[in-house]
Amino acid sequence: MLIYFLKVMFSDAANDNNIQEIQEKGEIKTIEAYVSGQVQGVGFRACARKIALGLSLTGEVMNLDDGRVYLVATGENVILEKFISSLYECPRAYLREISCNEITKKEFSDFTILRNI
């Protein structure tokens, strides 16, 4: 009985339907994140932009006066998760914490670095 159940649950047809359903939904969303640690003056914004562009995300990143970095990114949920986890790989930066939440969807044409005014 269990083997039959597993065959039905993991059959190629069932997997193809689930994959197609996920791809059709797309689940595009926008997140904002505040990154703390040693993230200013070490090329972190450029690294974040490079990762985002490599993952085909759009958004923006900027330094904050309190020493943190703020970023907004739009893309598929799974890709956004990959983006956030990849930020820890930026050389010379030391990330202490990433506070991340979903916000109202925003459209961007590119992923840009915003300069301090």
Residues involved in catalysis? 45, 63
How many whole angstroms separate alpha carbon 76 and alpha carbon 40? 27
Number of H helices, E strands in the chain: 4, 5
Q: Which two tokens stand for residue 102?
A: 């979903």
Q: How many CB atoms lie within 10 A of CB 77?
A: 15
